A and B are shown apart, each in its own frame.
Chain A
Amino acid sequence: MSEAKTMPAADAGRRLPYGALFWLLATLLIFVVGQQTVTLHDQEKFIGDFDFSVEHVEGENRLILNLTAGTFAYGVTPEVILPTPTGSFSRGDVDAPQVADVLFDALESITDISIEAQTITVVYDNDMEAEQIRSRLRRPVNNSVVNDRNTITAEVSQSAEKTILFSTSEDHFLYAQYQPALVDSIEDYDSRAAAEAGSDLARFIVGEARAVQSLRLEPTRLVVGYAEGAALEPLARNLREILNDFHPRASLAPKLWLLTIAPEIVPPMLAIAVEPLETGLPLFLFTLLMVAVEGGIYFVAREGKKNLLIHLVHILSVFLLFWSIFGHEPLWDAILHAIFPTSAPLVHPQGPVIDFSAQHLELVFTSSIYIISAGLFLGVMVTRENFREFLPLVNNLVNGGQTVPTLAIVAIMAPIIGLGFLPALVALIAYGLLPVVRNTIAGIESVSVSIVDSARGMGMTSQQILLRTEMPIASRIIMAGIRTSMVINIGTATLGAFVGSGGLGIPIASGLSMTVDAFILLGAIPAALLAILTDYVLGRLEVVLTPRGLLIET
């Protein structure tokens, strides 16, 4: 009989940790998919993975970086990749495949092109040196005719008079359409021109290597003019590092989880450029942490211990998840393009979402710190015996702060303290104070008279009563106030853009003025996500900070 009674409890204890198993499965899935992607592509190189030798031009303050692998292609996003249609084409054919067009464009003297699965034969008709023609065609072929990926394995040979043969050892020629441009014209920049109107690569180099004065970009060669007296060795080393750091946009691969979670919105070619695991890491870590959380809850919660650590890990993991969303520009691009079918770039020109989010969070957290400290202080003060007479006054003040529209506060403030971060901060503080003050007062008032009386009767000082009795018991209500205040704050902070405080209001404001709906979403979606995240995190924190004894239902 007694055994039968204890059975249900033991059963409950032996219930499997389904949550942990679920996340473990998710982790495995990601790992396996990630591994597969690795094995698929790990022998190949990205555009922008360079190998080069550095050559110094004596007496000229000049370094020449000669490419031995890869090209100085940049800003490349392959959009389509298809086997090149086979056939013979002559200049002016309307339906010549892309690769034929590219070759015709590259050299005036080409008259006919014949494309087979593994060879392209180019016929030329003037008296240029074959070697010359071959070298001038090599780059277009390499750049637009790609076998599987961007690596050049095509062999070039000259078979007959006025004919050049490109052949590939792979299955067949593929061609990709790139946008925007490659380093396809030879360009010269001085450092100022590079900083202002240079190509991405030129700007990148000038931005990172101070000694660089002039730049000449060629498809396979980079000529760098450096300042008088610059130390050569470090500069060369520096340039090498810079170039290896430079990842053209094409290699800004979507994170792995994008492929696993929403493959249909990933342009097919992007998938090829995925850096597995490394970029899927936030998601991978997220699921791994979730395993820890669920497992921890399973083992710890059962024994009724405090699970502060679990909550903190949980919060961290959710942060990771959200962060990988915010930080993921290709995702934003893909989502926005899915909603607004247009070829115009939809990622905001002023900066990536993550920057706006960071500014936004800065505004929210700074104001919240003031709100919380001032709110707690006011709430505690007016519930003290000596200051109780101020209670109605403070109530009216914070109520007032809430009723005046934030924009009005900003408008009043702007002429006094000008534009920027500060007026936005003041407005947010005025607006967010009410929930904190009100809940602090309500929380402290909720402590029953008899509890305070017995605390006093046992000999606690008023300070001890506040810290050991009133605050812990009020903590849950106070935390709820802070949570409300911060969530409101995140929404309100978008108005800060109107006084130049930055944040997610910027895309919204420019979206409104330029009538680009996508920009509005670019601000609104992260703001909403941030609000949800904050609400969730503070909700957790509320549970963590509430003393256990108060969580027991009576």
Chain B
Amino acid sequence: MIEFKDVIKEYPNGFRAVDDLNLTVRDGEICVLIGPSGCGKTTALRMVNRLIDVTRGEILIDGQPNDEFEPEVLRRQIGYAIQQIGLLPHMTIRDNVAIVPRLLDWDEERIRQRVDLLLDMVGIDPSIHGDKYPRQLSGGQQQRVGVARALGADPPIMLMDEPFGAVDPITRAILQEEFLQIQQEVSKTIIFVTHDIDEAIYMGDRIALLRAGRLVQYDTPDDLLAMPRDDFVREFVGADRSLKRLHLISVKDSMMNNVPCCDHDASLEEVAACLQRRQSDSAFVVDASSGVLLGWVERADLAESRSLAEAMHHAPAGSIAVPEDATAREALSVLLSHSFDLTPVIDAEGVLTGGVSIQRLQDLVEAPGIHAAAQPERRR
């Protein structure tokens, strides 16, 4: 656990970069520090491992003020990754990852095992890249090594200052996803600095929004989107915050289970009755025995047809339906691209399990904070 208690940082020129910061980062959580450039994110982060001294207030690590440690001792227990990566160019990849274990005098055999494990974990094959030098790797690979190095001595705490800031958006997305998977395994207490609200929403268990050195709002991503405290926050999270929230919700959590549908062997009368009962202009057609989505039928087509088979529109499930593990945002996208008022949802076997409507999505977005359980299961 990391606690900022009334922390103030004034630079020698009198500039107050962090102003009265109170913040608690719980064990195993990723706390994202975000805010406009120059708001004091980096300053706040670097005070934790004492690369910058606190002017007033204190920072507690597991309840113990961090200035009770020798700075070097403290830093060796805290992983540190920065945007510029800072790999030592004269050392091999393995040696770079081994830096902190060596500083801690681990025995070489243990270091070797640890290094290979970490490189594997971040997706760098140690047998191929282990003995290369940083300059022989791409930017994305270097970032991975940077993360592996920060994890070197298995520190309980990690400080990450825009660690994925220097790579292209596609690589960044991959790195973010992989890092969350690693975090799933190692469960570190992490302070993660970024200026990218999407990254913050995706990565953060909690987001601390800073402005001119002050903490403006500290909330879960969903609450931050749902209940911006003031205009600054609202503007910062962006006009598309509703869409962003939808991105946090899975289809499974937002769908209605009860959708108009009929079996493929139903008579036209049965179909008409069903539409009547549901007060709907169309219904989905599923296989009678397996429940697999086959297509849909519209009221207007019923009159001119002799059987359901003739009246229905066949469609491969993938083209009109969304899978259960998609985000609500994807469901919305499908809704907008077809003329249905309901997007069908299918499971892995193609079985129709429910549907998502515009109305339903609106309700969700307007609800004040969706419970954590409603978040997509992105951590699994």
- List residues of chain A with CB under 8 Å of any chain B CB: 448, 450-451, 453-461, 464, 468-469, 472-473, 547-550, 552-554
Contacts and interface: CB of A to CB of B under 8 A. Distances in A.
A111 B149 CA distance: 104
10 nearest A-B pairs in the assembled complex, by CB-CB distance: A454-B86, A547-B90, A549-B133, A450-B84, A459-B76, A457-B80, A459-B75, A450-B86, A549-B90, A552-B135
27 contacts: A448-B84, A450-B84, A451-B86, A451-B89, A453-B51, A453-B84, A454-B80, A454-B87, A455-B86, A456-B51, A457-B51, A457-B159, A458-B103, A459-B71, A459-B74, A459-B75, A460-B72, A464-B103, A468-B88, A547-B90, A547-B91, A549-B133, A549-B134, A550-B89, A552-B133, A552-B136, A554-B135
Interface residues of B, number: 29
Contacts of B159: 457
Contacts of B134: 549
B99 interface: yes
B82 interface: yes
Nearest to A473: B90
Contacts of A460: 72, 99, 103
A456 B75 contact: yes
B72 A459 contact: yes
Contacts of A547: 89-91
Interface of B: 49, 51, 71-76, 80, 82, 84-92, 99-100, 103, 133-136, 149, 152, 159
Contacts of B100: 458-459
Contacts of A461: 72
Contacts of B85: 450, 454
Contacts of A554: 135
Contacts of A458: 75-76, 80, 99-100, 103, 149, 152
Nearest to B73: A459
Contacts of B89: 451, 473, 547, 549-550
Contacts of A456: 51, 75
B81 to A, nearest CB: 8
Nearest to A472: B90
A409 to B, nearest CB: 38
A399 B88 CA distance: 32
B90 A550 contact: yes
Interface of B is mostly: mixed
Nearest to A471: B90
Given A450-B82, A549-B133, A457 B49 contact: yes
A451 B80 CA distance: 12
A472 B90 CA distance: 7
A67 to B, nearest CB: 69
B320 to A, nearest CB: 41
Contact of A453 (B74, B82, B87, B90): B82
A553 B49 CA distance: 34
A459 B100 CA distance: 7
B127 to A, nearest CB: 15
Contacts of B135: 549, 552-554
B73 to A, nearest CB: 7
B281 to A, nearest CB: 56
A477 to B, nearest CB: 13
A32 B91 CA distance: 48
B88 A451 contact: yes
Contacts of A453: 51, 82, 84, 86
Given A454-B80, A459-B76, A464-B103, A549 B86 contact: no
A458 B148 CA distance: 13
Nearest to B149: A458
A547 B95 CA distance: 13
A400 B88 CA distance: 36
Contact of A469 (B75, B82, B88, B136): B88
Contacts of B92: 549
Contacts of A464: 103
Contacts of A473: 88-90
Contacts of A553: 135
Contacts of A451: 86-89
A515 B51 CA distance: 69
Contacts of B72: 459-461
Contacts of B90: 472-473, 547-550
B71 to A, nearest CB: 8
A298 B325 CA distance: 58
Contacts of A472: 90
A549 B80 contact: no
A419 B28 CA distance: 75
A268 B128 CA distance: 64
A548 B99 contact: no
Contacts of A455: 86, 88, 99
A36 B76 CA distance: 71
B58 to A, nearest CB: 20
Nearest to B146: A454
Interface core residue of B90, B92, B100, B149 (most chain A CB under 10 Å): B90
Contacts of B88: 451, 455, 468-469, 473, 549
A462 B99 CA distance: 15
Contacts of B51: 453, 456-457
Contacts of A459: 71-76, 100, 103
A550 B87 CA distance: 12
A548 B134 CA distance: 11
Contact of B82 (A457, A468, A550): A457
B95 to A, nearest CB: 9
Contacts of B91: 547, 549
Nearest to A456: B51
Nearest to A461: B72
Nearest to B72: A459
A456 B84 CA distance: 14
A550 B90 CA distance: 6
